[in-house]
Structure 1
Amino acid sequence: MKYAEWNQLFIRGEWKEGKSSNKYINQNPYSKEVLAEIRLANKQDMDDAYASARDAQRAWAKVSATEKTAVIERAIAILEGKREELVPLMVREQGCTVLKANVEIGIATGFMREAATYPGRIHDEELSSITAGKENHLYCLPVGVVGVIAPWNFPLHLAMRSVVAAIATGNAVVLKPDLQTYISGGCVIAKVFEEAGLPSGVLNLVVSDLAEVGDYFIEHPIPRMISFTGSTAAGRHIASVTGKHLKKTALELGGNNAFIVLEDADLDQAVAAAMFGKFMHQGQICMAVNRFVVDRKVYGAFVERLTDKASQLAVGNPEDPNTVIGPLINRNQVDKILRVIGESVALGARIVLAGSVEDNLMAPTIVVDVKNDMPIAQSELFGPVAAIIPVDSEEEAIQVANASDYGLSGAVFSGSLERGEAVAQQIHTGMIHVNDQSVNDEPHIAFGGEKGSGLGRFNGKWSIEEFTTIKWISVQREPRHYPFS
């Protein structure tokens, strides 16, 4: 694939150069190879993209459910057909492993299949009235134009999740991917829908720098909804801006997910799950395990087994199919993690597996004797570092898990499924899994967090609700008698 060709915006059905005077150089996080250079979007480009979406949306909303579904199904076939060329692109742009790239493509197409059912599942409703001679009609309508802001860690999947749901429910979209992954999180999606025959203007792509455009993307008067996936700090700011402008907002934010191991847990099962839940994509997943909360009765055995397994993971070039741990997205992420580890060690935590660090590569690291108020337990690490907290009881485990500003996902391991679910019900998260790790996402199941982990729910019927609005029209079929006239 010629990466240099991915150097344009997509507005009103045309690939065009951005109008900014600034450019962005897209580099491989592992090799530092320059993949592409793009001239960025400025505010005028955003005006054009949003106007394009507004102009196209009304006609798209009137397209039959059958044709909307057909467009999405064609897009699925096109995306699947590009797997062979997309996997190396994603590996080089994201620094992800070959396994992760294949998994991400599979997840993205799975969500597209679910969204392809949405047009046929949107139904209007008629309800009775307390007023004689009145009919109440409730219409489920698109919100209009949706601005989608996507992150860098699962850019194809997390951009597609909102883009395809919005399109399926009759909206038009302006997509703004993260600069670091603008190809797999933006250009690829625009190209797939272009080839699928999506009408011009229904999907638009802008690639911009926050330092240049500021809040213009979310403040713009045309979009009636902003869908954002990213950090909690950025989400709080977006919510404050969209709240001021009374825009609908869907936020999927960060996590500080607890993996609870009770004293009756099957440790082999728990460790196997822990390995995936912690180290998949170097831990750069909002649902990744951030804190292991382990009963002291099995603490030593759990630490020993996890350390042994983690020390054997292959670290290195993500283009090698055997690699499990590739580079972090940039050096700033590495430095942040090292700082947090150092601060926590100064407070009494101990490193039992010290992963080597070279450029953006960080080998698995395990830190024990962690207390829940240490920086390593209160920060969303987004790296291959396991922080393990000992507790003396089930009650303390629940208390520790809940002592966080986040509430996205989690896990509970117990020899009793009933006990595990009873504990899970007491954890303040939007999602939690018994005898499984915390990284789970299914296209038809409600996905979202509590507290600092977000607002709203994605997937299935919940996405239909998020990307539509309800309009009440009443029809008075016979004269109504009023108290005065």
Structure 2
Amino acid sequence: MKSVVEKYVDLNKSFINGEWVEGGSKRTFEIVNPYDKSVLTTVKLATKEQVDEAFEVARRAQVDWAKTTADERKAILEKACHYLKEHHNEIVDMLSRETGGSILKSNVEHHLTVEFLEEAIKYADEIYNVREVPGAPDKINHVYRLPLGVVSSISPFNFPMNLSMRTIAPAIALGNSIVHKPDIQVGLSGGSILAKAFEHAGLPKGVFNVVLTDIAEIEDAMLTNPIPKLISFTGSSAVGRYIGGIAGQHLKKVALELGGNSPFVVLSDADVDQAVNAAIFGKFIHQGQICMITNRIIVHQDKYEEFIEKFVERAKSIPYGDQTDPQTIIGPIINDRQLDRAEKIIQEAIQSGAKLALEGKRVGQVLTPYVFVDVDNASPLAQTELFAPIAPIIKAETDNHAIELANDTEYGLSSAIFTSDLKRGEEFALQVDAGMTHINDQTVNDAPNIPFGGTKASGLGRFGNPWLLDEFTTTKWVSVQTKERKFPF
């Protein structure tokens, strides 16, 4: 009987036109466990020509897929969902090994992946429905929602499975085809396992294609190919701006979920214990490697000292180490480059005079929590998306000042406000310039039926039913003249 790793490392190939194919490049990539650098599998990278081939087969396959009934599409989605549920334990294990995420985080990711699929089943019948709009006499106006065509999908390393599925599921449910490139570091979790689920479900060839490759190999092939009508990307704001520029030149739609600098605001009337519990989770889940992670903690001066004392005590005791140990919460940073970046941020903050309340350490590939206090909100430490277990705490003079500090960033993804006055909390929430604000909760929240997305440099577009329908479909007006129309000339 194959081990969990052996079961999925065999899927180290691209999936194009319903076939598992080796990459045509001479270059290979080793997918490793970030904790101990052990090699999980080696991938031959797909070439630009193979990416172009994937778009072409997706274009041909989409024509017939768009003609399927809602029931046919729902049946495929249900079978894929069943596959993921049936293989829950093996998939969670692979997610943990490949991403460096704890068992807790990997279970959360698997759960969200399934939820996105289940929600897609609910809106698979949204295409071709006709809505009648009042018009001139003797004219009937029909408005249809139609499949968009081919979708280009690019997903990141941190939550590769659910951040891939939130594009893949709506694309397929709404009659589109897709070419998907996961981050090669997590190519199995972010692409191959999902391809296996849809292969098992009987999805027609060419509707869903996965290319295992990297940017050095294919350059801008996922962006400049003329076939896709939508580019869906989750990643950094810098790359998002670049993609947006290219998409604009080619008049393509974009769905961009980008970086964040999510503020966690503790108001003067907050329950400190409750706030600390939430902040510990929201800051340190998956080592802080989440776009909507709690990045800055802003605390009213009346609660400041108490919050710091309790937060630091909790941070000291968070279990760290091998992420496959069910007791571990903080596992390894994804790669050396990201780890070196985190250490550089820490050292530059210390050299600039930032005050440490808790000094962490590097243990192999693991970084234990660092907590900085009395942080200047204008400092690089506060204005940088940290993507590491580094917590800057900032003092606010008043509740209004706290909201001002929260908004003083180029980002606007997620945010949180703690208060005992829920009505006032919601009034403050509307003042926070972010796509999402959570009252008396932490910043890391997602669901398939909410408008997930950000403002400012945190992106364009919204995921979640029904908001995603505008992203993944096109609208068509059909008018019917019921009687002969008289024209003025």
Q: TM-score range by the shorter chain?
A: over 0.9
Greater shift, 100-109 or 341-350, is seen at 341-350
In structure 1, what residue type is equivalent to 2:134?
Answer: S
CA distance in 1, matches of 2:319, 2:217: 40
Q: Are the counterparts in 2 of residues 328 and 361 from structure 1 also a CA contact under 8 Å?
A: yes
What's the offset of the Cα at 1:83?
1.1
CA distance in 1, matches of 2:147, 2:124: 11
CA distance in 2, matches of 1:471, 1:351: 58
Secondary structure of 2:31's counterpart equals strand
Give the equivalent residue in structure 1 for 2:14: 9
Match of 1:54 among 45, 55, 59: 59
Give the equivalent residue in structure 2 for 1:281: 286
What's the offset of the Cα at 1:43?
1.2
Give the equivalent residue in structure 1 for 2:343: 338
CA distance in 2, matches of 1:14, 1:144: 21
Match of 1:138 among 127, 140, 143: 143
Work out whether 1:351 is the aligned partner of 2:367.
no
Match of 1:45 among 50, 58, 61: 50
Q: Are the counterparts in 1 of residues 294 and 443 from structure 2 also a CA contact under 8 Å?
A: yes
Deviation track 1:352-396 (CA, whole Å, cap 9, x = no partner) reads 111110232000110111011111111100111111001101121
Give the equivalent residue in structure 1 for 2:93: 88
Work out whether 1:19 is the aligned partner of 2:24.
yes
- 1:446-465 matched pairs, under 5 angstroms: 446-465=451-470
Match of 2:78 among 55, 60, 73: 73
CA distance in 2, matches of 1:21, 1:129: 61
Q: Are the counterparts in 2 of residues 6 and 36 from structure 1 also a CA contact under 8 Å?
A: no
Greater shift, 448-457 or 15-24, is seen at 15-24
Q: Are the counterparts in 2 of residues 28 and 94 from structure 1 also a CA contact under 8 Å?
A: yes
Give the equivalent residue in structure 1 for 2:298: 293
Greater shift, 155-164 or 4-13, is seen at 4-13
Q: TM-score normalized by structure 2? A: 0.97
Work out whether 1:397 is the aligned partner of 2:398.
no
Aligned-residue identity in percent:
48
What's the offset of the Cα at 1:322?
0.3
RMSD: 1.0
Give the equivalent residue in structure 2 for 1:438: 443
What's the offset of the Cα at 1:173?
0.5
Deviation track 1:83-115 (CA, whole Å, cap 9, x = no partner) reads 121122111111111111111111110111101
What's the offset of the Cα at 1:207?
1.4
Deviation track 1:165-196 (CA, whole Å, cap 9, x = no partner) reads 11001000001000110100000000000001
In structure 1, what residue type is equivalent to 2:31?
Answer: N
Work out whether 1:126 is the aligned partner of 2:132.
yes
Aligned in 2, Cα 1:99/1:315: closer, same or farther, shift over 3 Å? Answer: same
Give the equivalent residue in structure 2 for 1:194: 199
- 1:209-224 matched pairs, under 5 angstroms: 209-224=214-229
Q: TM-score normalized by structure 1? A: 0.98
Match of 1:473 among 468, 472, 478: 478
CA distance in 2, matches of 1:146, 1:181: 21
Give the equivalent residue in structure 1 for 2:244: 239
Give the equivalent residue in structure 2 for 1:252: 257
Deviation track 1:302-337 (CA, whole Å, cap 9, x = no partner) reads 000000001000010111100010001012112212
Q: Are the counterparts in 2 of residues 261 and 293 from structure 1 also a CA contact under 8 Å?
A: yes
Secondary structure of 2:30's counterpart equals strand
* Structure 2 segments unaligned to the other structure (5+ residues): none
CA distance in 2, matches of 1:428, 1:394: 16
Give the equivalent residue in structure 2 for 1:366: 371
CA distance in 1, matches of 2:73, 2:102: 34
Match of 2:107 among 102, 111, 116: 102
Secondary structure of 1:321's counterpart equals coil
Q: Are the counterparts in 1 of residues 52 and 221 from structure 2 also a CA contact under 8 Å?
A: no
What's the offset of the Cα at 1:4?
3.7
Q: Which runs of 4+ in 1 moved over 4 A?
A: none
Give the equivalent residue in structure 2 for 1:384: 389
What's the offset of the Cα at 1:347?
2.8
Work out whether 1:164 is the aligned partner of 2:169.
yes
In structure 2, what residue type is equivalent to 1:463?
Answer: L
Q: Are the counterparts in 1 of residues 126 and 145 from structure 2 also a CA contact under 8 Å?
A: no
What's the offset of the Cα at 1:6?
2.4
CA distance in 2, matches of 1:277, 1:351: 20
In structure 2, what residue type is equivalent to 1:125?
Answer: R
Give the equivalent residue in structure 1 for 2:329: 324
Secondary structure of 1:458's counterpart equals coil
Work out whether 1:419 is the aligned partner of 2:424.
yes
CA distance in 2, matches of 1:464, 1:86: 29
CA distance in 1, matches of 2:115, 2:26: 39
* Structure 1 segments unaligned to the other structure (5+ residues): none
Q: Are the counterparts in 2 of residues 144 and 224 from structure 1 also a CA contact under 8 Å?
A: yes
Match of 2:155 among 144, 150, 153: 150
Q: Are the counterparts in 1 of residues 45 and 217 from structure 2 also a CA contact under 8 Å?
A: no
What's the offset of the Cα at 1:67?
1.2
Q: Are the counterparts in 2 of residues 7 and 36 from structure 1 also a CA contact under 8 Å?
A: yes
CA distance in 1, matches of 2:403, 2:102: 34
Match of 1:176 among 148, 173, 181: 181
Deviation track 1:454-482 (CA, whole Å, cap 9, x = no partner) reads 00000110112210010112122222122
Secondary structure of 2:340's counterpart equals helix
Q: Are the counterparts in 1 of residues 150 and 227 from structure 2 also a CA contact under 8 Å?
A: yes
Secondary structure of 1:184's counterpart equals helix
CA distance in 2, matches of 1:186, 1:4: 12
Q: Are the counterparts in 2 of residues 448 and 454 from structure 1 also a CA contact under 8 Å?
A: yes
What's the offset of the Cα at 1:346?
2.8
In structure 2, what residue type is equivalent to 1:116?
Answer: I
